Amino acid sequence: MASRTTTTSKSTRPVPHPEDLMPLASAAELFHVNRKTLRRRIADGTVTGYRIGRLIRVDPDELRRALFREIPTRRSLA
């Protein structure tokens, strides 16, 4: 997925193009987590949520980076 971003005057954080964002329900289904989990991650600042109208949307690339972490093994530490 090609990321198109813009910046806002309020912050220097790039804002993804609305077409690159997905609703919480779709993201929860894609990543096999509950919508409440995504809402908690938005609330604690792990993931950025974007309100478009009444819907809250998330960037799937940011969500992937935030939710999935490599588990270290003995081989990876050596």
| Model confidence pLDDT, tens digit, residues 66-75 | 988 888 888 7
pLDDT at position 10 is 52
The answer to whether residue 44 sits within a structural domain is: yes
Number of domains in the chain: 1
Tell me, yes or no, whether 48 lies in a domain. yes
Domain around 55: 17-69
Q: Which residue has 């910046």 as its token pair? A: 7
Mean pLDDT of 35-63: 94
Does residue 46 sit within a domain? yes
The gap between the terminal CA atoms of the chain, to the nearest Å, is 34
Residue 11 is assigned to a structural domain of this protein: no
Please tell me the pTM assigned to this model. Answer: 0.71
**Least trusted range by pLDDT, from 12-16, 36-40, 47-51, 67-71:** 12-16
pLDDT per position as a tens digit, 55-69: 999 999 999 999 888
pLDDT value at 50 more than 90: yes
Residue 55 in any domain: the answer is: yes
- Average pLDDT of the chain, as a whole number: 84
